[in-house]
Amino acid sequence: HASTALLLPSARCLFDQPVQVKVEGLRSRQVVTMRARSTDEKGVVFSSSATYRADGSGEIDLLRDPSLSGSYVGVEPMGLLWSMKADALHKRFQKPCALNPHVVRFSVHEEDREDRMLAEVTNERLLIGNGVSRVPVKGRNYQGVLFTPPGEGPFPAVLDLCTLMSEKRASLLASRGFMVLTVPVYTDHPDNVKQIHLDHFKEAVDFLQQQPKVGSKGVGIMARSKGGDIALSLAAFVSGVKAVVSINSCNAVVGVPLYYQNHQIISPLRSDITKIITTESGASILKYGLGDPLAEENKDSLVPIEQAKGHFLFVASEDDLNWDSKAYMDQMAERLKRHGKENFETLCYPGAGHLLEPPYSPYCASSFHRLVHHVVLWGGEARAHAEAEVHLWSKIQEFFRTHLSCDAAQTKAKL
C-alpha cells in the first residue's frame, strides 16, 4: 500500500514561494504524523511536526486540512516550514549565502512512530532565481554583493542595508526584478566601531545609480533595526533616495555617533542597561533599555526625516521586544505630519516580533544578539509573525515598484 508525498506546483521553488503539500495513498481516515527537517549553514538541525487525518479516499492536502496537534494546529498550508525549530534553545536559522538553497525534507510517518516512514519528498527552496547574477562589490569605503536580474532591464535599484552581512533578502528581491546591492552596516566587529560614516553608504547609493541597467531615477533603500536609522539618515541627507522601507527601526541614531563629510551630524541615543529584563530562559528583553528619543537630552539623536525628498514605508511589529518599534513609528509619522509632509505610509503588525524576514523562514523567538552579546527575546507569536512576513514581502515589492518607476528611454540615454 504505497503512499506518496507531493509538492505542487514543483519540488523546486524560490524561498519566498508557497508550496502545496499533498499526501496520497493512505488508508481512509488514517492519522499520520508529518515532519519537516532542514539543516542550516551552521549545521544546526531545525524540525517541525504535525498530526493530520486523511480524508475518505486516503488523501491529505495542507491547503485544506487542519493539523490536529504538533508544532501548530489548524489549517496552515506552510506551517511545517515556519514552525521549524532547533532542539537547542535560542537558535536562529542561518542562511547567509544566497548560493545554497534551503533544503527541506518533508516526511510522512505512522502516527507517533518516527521509525515507520510512509513517504518523503525533498523541497529545494532557492534563494536566488534563475539567471540572477551575484557579484561581490568592493568600493573605497564599503563592501557588498550586487544581485542583478536576467535581461536588459531597465530595473529599479534598491540598496539593502543589513545590520550584519546577509544576502537572503537581497537575492530574493533581485529574483523579483530589482537590482539590489546588499551592504552591511557592520563589516568589523561591532565593538570596534566607534563611529559610522554616512559617506560610506552614500558611495554605495552612487554606485547603484551609475549601473547601466538601472532605470529608476533614484534608489530605494530597505533596512531593519540598526540599518533603519542609517537608511532614514540617507533619505534625509543624501539626494537620489526615492523610497525607504524602514522595518522595526528607531527614529534616533542608536549605538554610535553618525558622521557625514567629517562632521558629527547626529549623536547616539543613550541607553540604560539597568532597564534590561532577564527572563527565566536566560534571554533578555532589551525593549526598555533605550532612552526615550523625545526626551530633551536626546533630541540631538533624532534623524531629521522631514528633510527627505523621497517616500517612506514605516513598518512596526507591535510585539517587538528588541525595542519599542511601534512608538518610534508613531513618533516619525507625527514628526512628518507636523512638518506638513504626507510622503509616508505606515504598516503595523500585531503579534509580530522584531525579526521580520522574507516569508517562510523558520520563526525565531530568541537568539544571540551579536551587537549586545546577550541572548535576547525578539518577540512575536509564530503564526501571526509568519503571516506578517507574507503580507510585508508583497507590500515591499509594491511600494518599490510604485516609487521607483522605470523608464526605458532613460536607460538608453545613460548607455
- Asked if 248 and 224 count as a contact pair (C-beta separation under 8 A), the reply is yes
CA distance 229 to 131: 33
- pLDDT, average across residues 310-326: 98
Q: Where in the chain is the domain with CATH 3.40.50.1820?
A: 133-404
Dihedrals phi, psi of 124, to nearest 5 degrees: -100, 110
Q: How far is CA 397 from CA 117, 157, 184, 358, 367, in A?
A: 40, 12, 21, 11, 28
Contact of 75 with 97, CB cutoff 8 Å: no
Does residue 341 surpass a pLDDT of 80? yes
Residue 55, phi then psi, degrees to nearest 5: -80, -175
The pLDDT, as a whole number, for residue 403 is: 96
Can you state the percent helix, strand and coil of the chain, rounding each to 5? 20, 35, 45
Residue with cell 532577564: 278
Q: 198-209 and 226-237 helices cross at what angle (nearest 10)?
A: 70
**Three-state secondary structure call for residue 275:** helix
pLDDT above 70: residue 42: yes
Task: Check pLDDT > 60 for residue 415.
Answer: no
pLDDT at res. 112: 79
| From 81-85, 164-168, 197-201, 326-330, the region with the lowest mean pLDDT | 164-168
The per-residue pLDDT for 406 is: 72
Q: Which residue has the higher pLDDT, 409 or 32?
A: 32
Residues of the chain with CATH 2.60.40.2240: 4-126
User: Is it the case that residue 94 has pLDDT exceeding 80?
Assistant: yes
Residue 33 near residue 49, CB atoms below 8 Å: yes
What percentage of the chain has pLDDT greater than the value 70? 98
Output the pLDDT for position 314.
Answer: 98
Please tell me the predicted confidence (pLDDT) of residue 96. 80
Q: What is the pTM of this model?
A: 0.95
Helix (H, G, I), strand (E, B) or coil at 232: helix
Mean of pLDDT over the chain:
95
Mean pLDDT of 3-18: 97
Output the CA–CA distances (angstroms, integers) from residue 225 to 85, 219, 290, 338, 376, in the order listed: 23, 20, 13, 24, 14
Flag whether pLDDT at 43 surpasses 90. Answer: yes
Mean pLDDT of the region 267-296: 93
Tens digit of pLDDT for each residue in 220-229?
A: 999 999 999 9
Check: CB of residue 385 under 8 Å from CB of residue 248: no
**413, pLDDT greater than 80:** no
pLDDT at residue 409 greater than cutoff 50: no
Measured CA distances, 409 to 76, 176, 217, 406, 412 (Å):
45, 22, 12, 9, 5
Helix (H, G, I), strand (E, B) or coil at 106: strand
Give the span between the Cα atoms of 62 and 249, in whole angstroms: 35
How far apart CA 247 and CA 224 sit, in angstroms, is 4
pLDDT band at 1 (very low <50, low <70, confident <90, very high): low
Catalytic (active-site) positions? 225, 320, 354
Q: For residues 85-98, b (16+ Cβ closer than 10 Å) or e, as one string?
A: bbeeebbbbebebb
Confidence category of residue 189, pLDDT binned at 50, 70, 90: confident
Chain segment 218-256, per-residue pLDDT in tens: 999 999 999 999 999 999 999 999 999 999 999 999 999
Q: Band the pLDDT of 407: cuts 50, 70, 90.
A: low
Query: Has residue 115 got a pLDDT over 80?
Result: yes
Domain at 133-404, CATH homologous superfamily: Alpha/Beta hydrolase fold, catalytic domain (3.40.50.1820)
Whether pLDDT at 82 is above 80: yes
Residue 190 reports pLDDT greater than 90: no
CA angle centred on 408, ends 403 and 410, rounded to 5°: 80
* CATH code of the region 4-126: 2.60.40.2240
Give the pLDDT confidence score for residue 414 in this predicted structure. 44
